[in-house]
Structure 1
Amino acid sequence: MRKFVLTTLLAVFVITITNAAKIQGFIKEEHGSPLAYATVTIKGTPTGTTANSKGFYSLDLKPGNYTLQFEYVGFVAVEKIIEVMDKDQQVDVVLIANQNLMGEVIVKAKGEDPAYRIIRQAIKKRPYYQQQTDSLSVDIYLKGIIRTISIPGKIFGQKVERDGSDGLDSMGKGVAMLSESNLLLDEVRPNQSKITVRSSFSRGDNMGLNFSKVTSFYTNNVNIFDVNSSSRGFISPIADGALNFYRYKLLNTYTRDGVTIKTIRVIPKRKQEPLFSGNIEIAEGSWRIYSLDLLLTKDYQLELIDTLKIKQLHGPVTPDTWKTKNQIISIGFDMFNFKGVGSFVNVYSNYNLHPRFSQGYFDNVVMKYDTGYYKKDSSFWTQSRPVTLEDDEQRYYTFRDSMNTVRDNRPKSYYDSLRRKQKIKLTHILWSNQHYRWYSNNSTATYQLKGLTKGLEYNTIEGVALKVNQYFNYMPNKGPYNYHLHWNMRYGFENRHFNSFGTLTIASKDDTYRNRYLSLSGGKRVSQLNNDNPINALTNSLYTLFAKRNYIKLYENWFGNVQYNNKFENGFTINVAASFEDRVPLNNTSLYSFSKSARPFTPNHPEELAAVGFDRHQALIADIAISYQPGQKYIQYPNRKVSIGSDKPVFTLNYTAGIPDLLGSDVKYNKWKLSATDNMNLKLAGLFKYNIGLGGFLNADRYSIPDMKHFNGNRTFYNMKYLNSFQLAPYYAYSNVAKFYGEANVEHHFNGLLTNKIPLFNKLKWNLVAGGNAFYVKQDQYYAEAFVGLENIFKLFRVDFIAGYQPLLKTQLGVRVGFGGFLGGAFKID
């Protein structure tokens, strides 16, 4: 009997699985255009699916009777009753736009649009819905795809090679990135959250785009991008002060499942503000969001991409609690002739509004990847993904997987072919960089020679000098370390001095976020008297040749150095170093300049430090730096942790000792410095940055100019070290060995807060920046400056206007140019 029952149950199970049928079709609007990512739900259940960008959906259902709900933002939902048998069915649906089914809209003559009453009620209820649930858990399916339309042949003069290995055609058209993830989001108010990545499958590059997993319009400031970004955010149409930024118009009224829905047009009052345009639907009576369809463009402070459209559909989890059912972000971009489109779909399901979390569940790990998260096969994704793959997406996955298989099984002849294809060109050696790579199944080795013309400079000490920088990297597939060698050679044609030194760095490759490495270096080199290098060689060359200003001050040194760095998971970083220098003074040997000025060149020994002798001597120096940033957050992978930083300041303590007598060392001093730095994202108010420090010498019995405390001055027309320099200060006038000093650099980036209201500036998107720099040594030895400037000029440049004050001298006025803004912040002069 028992055997019969088991056999019967098994037969019923097999028959049930066998009889499952596929319900599929297209969801379109009345004119035949597909409704991308429309929602399909089995009424009365959380089960459903989402159509793809072609409006195609597919559901596997067991035999029975079902009511399917078809929804799309801005369209009237449709219900269809179907009977599922053992055969597949095609169920196509046409949805009608809300605007085509206008309800009663009454506007009093010369009166206020009825939309304002609704919006005011929604604003009043906004805090309630923002804080309605103390905790929740929700499953999230994420899908992102970027399709390129074209890619330029050259970028900044460099040719873009196309070999087909990325799956794009010869014009750069195709799928550039495709990713899918299944997540569990757990939250507890006010600020505890954790994401568990159960499965993830990704191919390609997301171009740095990282959107928020949950975007709430119940907050005043809406985070479209990841909350760790420096984005200002955007003003919600139902923010507390939204009436100061938006106009509203009631478009129509309709009823859905007994709920009256008001469709309202959202219209920005001014351009160049972080504002949305589009439609938002509010439920009458409860005043909650039913759906939204909103647009961001470059006219409203969108950067990097040209357009971003966000759609959300909300629905009931309980009768009184509604949550987001799905979210679709669509983007378009055209920058430097990179053209493309993308879509990022979030589908939310299985809300739990009363989850129970074990004690200690919320810690400094904010995202955790399950073991084997990347090992799910295609059958798993076929069953679990709520959005059907499109043809080009299926081809993309197949192509990428086949490429990975080829890479994992490359024969020796493949690497021999790659080596033969490499070319050594005279133009690479002289101007651009020459690369060479050795290919192997077991390791990768690369060699780079920086363009020789980039190593040319001119100064009064060496005349014309040529630097040859070479880099060799060896990265074995097995083993815990990578190896990097930097070899620098330098020759001064006027003083005929040859210098050469090398640095070998052994770095851990398994936990790169910890920046754990050991470096060994030694040889003979040329160094600036201020080891913080306040002026770069290119700038000094231009000023020496064309303005007869020799700002750079150099000395030679035979040296050896050992350094160890490690960052710990608790936020501490330690750097320990010991170095020995045999310091050799240098003098001017070349006084040539294109300038006809009668002004003489200054000596290599700074005139301000004439009282501080600099003869040949030796220095043995030990240095330790300990930094700490509280509040570290981490991503936990199965085999490692990765730090994603913190919103707290970084505190750093430096201690340096000049060790006397050992190895003939002539120096004897001890100095310290305590500093704090931070970038505070104030959202709509902008970005505030500061770097403040205190320090001094405990003793300074024997020292030389390189051992002194130097403040990074600047006498050139441009500046790069904005939070580590004084824009109008001299280079060595305030160098000291005082027992105490203080310094501060502060600046506030308004990011359009004020300039977006000024004609012309708001169109140019030039943003205001202001701040001040100061240091204090003693009563008659201090310096202060204030500045105001414009940045984001052509996305690259920044211009500051500065007033500087120092004792016994008139107030200085000056202008400095540098890189700053959306793209400029990533540039530097090497």
Structure 2
Amino acid sequence: MLILTHTFIRGINCNLYFRFSFIFMHKILTVLFVLLFVNYSFAGKISGTVSDEKGSPLAYASILIKENGHGTTANQEGRYSLELNTGDYTIVVQYVGYAKQEKKIHVETKSLQLDFQLLPQQLNLNDVVVKSGAEDPAYAIIRHAIKKREEYRTAVDSFTCEAYIKTLLKTRTLPRKILGKTMDSATWKQMGVDSNGKGVIYLSESMTKIAFKKPDKIKLEVISGRESGTAGYGFSFPTFIDFYNNNIEMMGGQVAPRGYVSPIADGALGFYKYHFLGSFFEDGKEINRIEVIPRRKYEPLFSGTIEITEGDWRIYSLDLMLTKESQLELLDTVKIKQIHYPVTPTIWRTKDQVMYFTFKKFGIDAVGNFLNVFNNYNVTPAFKKKFFNNIVVRFDTGVNKKPITYWDSVRPVPLEPEEVKDYKVKDSIFSYQRDSSFTKRYRDSLRRMQGKISLKNVLWNGFTRSNYNPKKWTSIQWQPLLKQVQYNTVEGLVLNTEATLSRAYPKVKRELSFTPHLRYGFSNGHFNAWGTLNYNKRSFWWDNSNAGDESAESFRQNNFSISGGKRVNQFNKDEPISPLYNSVVTLFFNHNYLKIYENYFAQFNYHGSSQAGLKYSVSFLYEDRVPLENTTDFAIIKYDPQKFTPNYPFEKIYQQFIRHQAFIAEVSLEYQPGQQFAQFPRYRVPLGSKYPTFSLDYQKGIDNIFGSDVNFDKWTFAVTDDINLKLAGQFSYRFDIGGFINDKSVFIQDYRHFNGNQIIIASKYLNSFQTAPYYANSTTASFYATGHVEHHFNGLLTNKIPFFKRLNWNLVAGSNAFYVNKNNNYAEIFAGLENILKLFRVDVVGSYLNGNNGQVAVRIGFGGLLGGKVRSN
């Protein structure tokens, strides 16, 4: 449920520029559908404004129809509207901190103006006398609320309701250049910002039906969704925030993986101080207002007010905030307002919820909110057999095809003037672009906008150029030359070139692409050329039948590739050291860790995935493997005692391998049981599971095919998982076992290599050994095992240290090990700090090799809120 919530927030905040770019492109690359009819009902419309005693609007005030429990929420300007059948009603208006107001009305078919002016809640403190040293009465109220917490958290066995969800993101300031990328005026206009960088850049609304059953079964049915300027579904997932839980997860855990302590959690008294502000009466019930104050800064705690009913000790409403002192990452502030109401005499639920957030970084000043209005609660629903299954979110086939008249009839919250303008302008632009996409004039204008190819593009920036022809879509993508330059002791200076030519086939929803690679080594004079032909499943923005399915190909894979030619590979195909890092250590420190060989090859790959979430791949590889020798010892800084090592895994083999041929077949499977999905009209999106991911890989070296000299059978089984322990941090692990069933003829390229690392830059976490040699422990044993564990404390412990708690640097610790036999084993333990500048991680590693003391070393890599994404990508 919250997984997709955090996906959206991550897009907005972790990489805001790319989110902006995505929104801009999304508006060009989708199609808008509109139905030609809608059902109307005869009803009377009431509308009005909600303001305070000075006439200032009360944003998102709650409006409730007392007779049936239905309601709405005012917009940011305090305006609201309701459509009601003829009859008598009582309209109740609430706003946190203000006295509730009721008005009785009679509705006819004509419109009725009904305004409310709320007065600040008059709190009663006359009967409360707090003597010096005595406990504040708020503590007794909170203790009662804590005792009742579990009862109210599990109060209903099941329920259904409807939710209206509106999401808004707008900028107050936007620079022309973000993270080195320049945005021109055309981009700003498409985004919807004015010349000052101010405007709405994302707006969506949706209607969703929600079904829940204990202990954790949930199903969402998205009835309708709308996204400004696109044919997308909008942000259709309610952000349930239940303060009866001990730990409150915000935005799917991305803003803070540890979560936040609820003011009425079981251990809340150890985290918060409370101050009784007074009480008031509504509908004969006394309501206590309590100020919530964190005991310590830089802890995952809220501040603000919470209102608790007297006697039954329920949450009545709350107004709570998170700031940087709450260990809030990336966002500057998050504010949550909730109002609860009785759906039965004994059961209360959240009626409406608003979550505001602000962001101010990199010159971007942005604000946004998520508004959820819940209606039509049923706490005694009857579900059909097997109603709850692995489909937790289902989108109606017409989810994004509702006309504007439909939204005007069902929307419970009136749009703001800027929102009305945003829909009108961006939908018009999108419709024009859609309708013009097949015209030569429009295609010519898009091609001109791409600009000329400059020398800077060729050497440093790279470029992409398309013909924008929907019937024969063709594009070319060029990788910059200078960013692919390498140096090693075999080839000397290495120049690489790479480009991808793509052609779309919309009728079969496929894309054919060809990527040629050229490589030349100036020292050994070897020229290598190879290419890859991909045939992938795709959906295309100009295909009306596929509107809204832009990301389908990401989750319903069915891809083929054929490659061949002459290339250069590392002996370990996992590439334990990158060519860039090797270039640096060779030129400046005289270490040639990169060990490579040439090969003439042909390869076929097939990748697929099933609707059940099983991923599978099959490949066939032929290689004619040719040894290479060092040809240069040039270095910018030379150390006389240092000698470059031979260009083969000298730690394991004592002379260069002989030229040979290999034909290898490989099958891989990956599966995560308990996988849940969002079912879109034409594809599924996996949402994850509480279970680990299992993978199995089997390789067969087959002799006497095309002269193949290899004969072996090798298998690997792995299990991986990330476990969020909330306040205790996050625990991650990977365990592998494997071995050779048959090792009759195995060359060094096909050994089981353990990914070592001998440079200061950290290698892949959870899949390498930070101080192990690259090839010394490679094996053909019948059994071996590896283990990787690490714990991200996410602020635990470091938030007690004055300097670190302000910086949000977090502790990380763990261990890596492999075991083949008593003479071939390795173990290391490490501890470090991550989230340095939100990007970097520094570890101190101590190791043991083959039972003997190894070394103590420092490793620097990417880690933390942003760095973790760099690492994983």
Return the match for 1:112 from 128, 135, 152.
135
Which residue does 2:576 correspond to in 1?
Answer: 534
- State the secondary structure of the residue aligned to 2:408: helix
- State the secondary structure of the residue aligned to 2:82: strand
Equivalent residue letter for 1:558: Y
Structure 1 segment 770-789 matched on structure 2, within 5 A: 770-789=813-832
Deviation of 1:404 after TM superposition, in Å, equals 2.1
Deviation of 1:780 after TM superposition, in Å, equals 1.3
Cα displacement string for residues 599-654 of structure 1 (whole angstroms, at most 9, x for unaligned residues): 11111022212346511111001111112210111111122222122221111111
Equivalent residue letter for 2:701: G
Return the match for 2:361 from 332, 335, 342.
335
Residues 1:764 and 2:790 are matched in the alignment: no
Query: Whole-Å Cα distance in 2 between the matches of residues 444 and 234 of structure 1?
Result: 49
Q: Is the 8 A contact 1:105 1:253 kept in 2?
A: no
Query: Whole-Å Cα distance in 2 between the matches of residues 443 and 362 of structure 1?
Result: 44
Residues 1:128 and 2:140 are matched in the alignment: no
Equivalent residue letter for 1:433: G
Cα displacement string for residues 73-110 of structure 1 (whole angstroms, at most 9, x for unaligned residues): 22111122345566544333222223666564332331
Return the match for 2:395 from 356, 369, 378.
369
Q: Is the 8 A contact 2:257 2:794 kept in 1?
A: no
CA separation of 1:738/1:85 partners in 2, compared to 1, >3 Å: closer, same or farther? closer
TM-score, length of structure 1 as denominator length:
0.95
Which residue does 1:445 correspond to in 2?
Answer: 474
Q: Is the 8 A contact 1:99 1:251 kept in 2?
A: no
Return the match for 2:54 from 21, 26, 31.
31
Cα displacement string for residues 149-188 of structure 1 (whole angstroms, at most 9, x for unaligned residues): 1222112222123312222223331111111111111011
Which residue does 1:72 correspond to in 2?
Answer: 95
Deviation of 1:17 after TM superposition, in Å, equals 7.5
TM-score, length of structure 2 as denominator length:
0.90
CA separation of 1:389/1:594 partners in 2, compared to 1, >3 Å: closer, same or farther? same
Query: Whole-Å Cα distance in 2 between the matches of residues 779 and 103 of structure 1?
Result: 78
Query: Whole-Å Cα distance in 2 between the matches of residues 813 and 89 of structure 1?
Result: 78
After superposing the two structures, state which structure 1 stretch, 134-143 or 641-650, moved more.
Answer: 641-650
CA separation of 1:648/1:753 partners in 2, compared to 1, >3 Å: closer, same or farther? same
Return the match for 1:578 from 614, 617, 620.
620
Which residue does 2:182 correspond to in 1?
Answer: 159
Equivalent residue letter for 2:81: S
Query: Whole-Å Cα distance in 1 between the matches of residues 632 and 275 of structure 2?
Result: 75
Query: Whole-Å Cα distance in 1 between the matches of residues 494 and 405 of structure 2?
Result: 63
- State the secondary structure of the residue aligned to 1:588: coil
Query: Whole-Å Cα distance in 1 between the matches of residues 687 and 501 of structure 2?
Result: 29
Query: Whole-Å Cα distance in 1 between the matches of residues 173 and 764 of structure 2?
Result: 37
Which residue does 1:236 correspond to in 2?
Answer: 262
Cα displacement string for residues 764-784 of structure 1 (whole angstroms, at most 9, x for unaligned residues): 100000000000111111110
Query: Whole-Å Cα distance in 1 between the matches of residues 253 and 108 of structure 2?
Result: 47
Residues 1:55 and 2:78 are matched in the alignment: yes
Return the match for 2:700 from 657, 660, 681.
657
Residues 1:513 and 2:555 are matched in the alignment: yes
Residues 1:467 and 2:493 are matched in the alignment: no
Equivalent residue letter for 1:413: R
Count residues in correspondence. Answer: 814
- State the secondary structure of the residue aligned to 1:318: coil
Query: Whole-Å Cα distance in 2 between the matches of residues 516 and 89 of structure 1?
Result: 58
Query: Whole-Å Cα distance in 2 between the matches of residues 584 and 22 of structure 1?
Result: 81
Cα displacement string for residues 274-331 of structure 1 (whole angstroms, at most 9, x for unaligned residues): 1110000000000010000000112212223111100000001111111111001111
**Off by >6 Å, runs of 4+ in structure 1:** 208-211, 227-230
Which residue does 2:507 correspond to in 1?
Answer: 478
- State the secondary structure of the residue aligned to 1:662: coil
Query: Which one has more relative contact order, counting CA pairs under 8 Å at least 6 apart?
Result: 2
CA separation of 1:102/1:71 partners in 2, compared to 1, >3 Å: closer, same or farther? farther
CA separation of 1:628/1:247 partners in 2, compared to 1, >3 Å: closer, same or farther? same
After superposing the two structures, state which structure 1 stretch, 233-242 or 478-487, moved more.
Answer: 478-487
Which residue does 1:420 correspond to in 2?
Answer: 448
RMSD after superposition: 2.1
Structure 1 segment 146-545 matched on structure 2, within 5 A: 146-163=169-186, 164-203=189-228, 213-226=239-252, 231-410=257-436, 411-421=439-449, 422-509=451-538, 510-545=552-587
CA separation of 1:61/1:212 partners in 2, compared to 1, >3 Å: closer, same or farther? closer
Which residue does 1:9 correspond to in 2?
Answer: none
Return the match for 2:742 from 699, 719, 726.
699
Equivalent residue letter for 2:174: I
CA separation of 1:428/1:196 partners in 2, compared to 1, >3 Å: closer, same or farther? same
Query: Whole-Å Cα distance in 1 between the matches of residues 354 and 456 of structure 2?
Result: 48
Cα displacement string for residues 185-224 of structure 1 (whole angstroms, at most 9, x for unaligned residues): 1011001110011111123699x99975321111101123
- State the secondary structure of the residue aligned to 1:775: strand
Query: Whole-Å Cα distance in 2 between the matches of residues 301 and 147 of structure 1?
Result: 24
Query: Whole-Å Cα distance in 2 between the matches of residues 733 and 329 of structure 1?
Result: 55
Which residue does 1:610 correspond to in 2?
Answer: 653
CA separation of 1:434/1:685 partners in 2, compared to 1, >3 Å: closer, same or farther? same
CA separation of 1:165/1:432 partners in 2, compared to 1, >3 Å: closer, same or farther? same
- State the secondary structure of the residue aligned to 2:501: strand
Structure 1 segment 620-635 matched on structure 2, within 5 A: 620-635=663-678
Deviation of 1:453 after TM superposition, in Å, equals 0.6
Which residue does 1:554 correspond to in 2?
Answer: 596
Equivalent residue letter for 2:180: G
Query: Whole-Å Cα distance in 1 between the matches of residues 178 and 604 of structure 2?
Result: 39
After superposing the two structures, state which structure 1 stretch, 297-306 or 545-554, moved more.
Answer: 297-306
- State the secondary structure of the residue aligned to 2:228: strand
The percentage of counterpart residues that share the same residue type is 46
Equivalent residue letter for 2:152: Y
